[in-house]
Amino acid sequence: MDMIHLQDPRPVYEQIAEYFEKLILSGVMPEDEQMPSVRQVAQQESVNPNTVQKAFAELERDGYIYTVRGRGSFVADVRHLQILREKKREALKAQLGASLREAMQAQIPKEEILSLIEEIYREGGEHV
């Protein structure tokens, strides 16, 4: 999984935050695991450390990580992450519902929508 995509119109800090959010929510980065340093991520991705700091600040604000002064940032409590995971699922379901309603208004046949869903799962489902 790449952290930054140059074609992505979103700001780089959002892409970095989303990258770590996915690792945390999937359990790849377990509770209390130390995050890489801002400097490490900045060097690895060739970005300004302030950009990485902004991503980490967003992750902390959203409850994915916590900071211990002088020691760094760590993955937050799993129980809290379960709540975050459920909120994320609900938000994604709402987005999907809105997209499906738009597709219906555009008179895209149900079979075409289902075919697209199957195609997306074939292409990326093995990563889930």
- pLDDT tens for 7-24 read 889 999 999 999 999 898
Q: What is the mean pLDDT of the chain?
A: 89
> What is residue 107's predicted lDDT score, i.e. its pLDDT?
95
> What is residue 84's predicted lDDT score, i.e. its pLDDT?
76
Q: What is the pLDDT of residues 75-115, one digit of tens each?
A: 998 677 778 778 888 999 999 999 999 999 999 999 999 99
| Domain 12-76 -> CATH class | mainly alpha
The answer to whether the CB of 50 falls within 8 A of the CB of 9 is no
The pLDDT of residue 74 is above 90: yes
Write down the pTM of the prediction.
0.66
Residue among 73, 43, 78, 45 at smallest CA distance from 59? 73
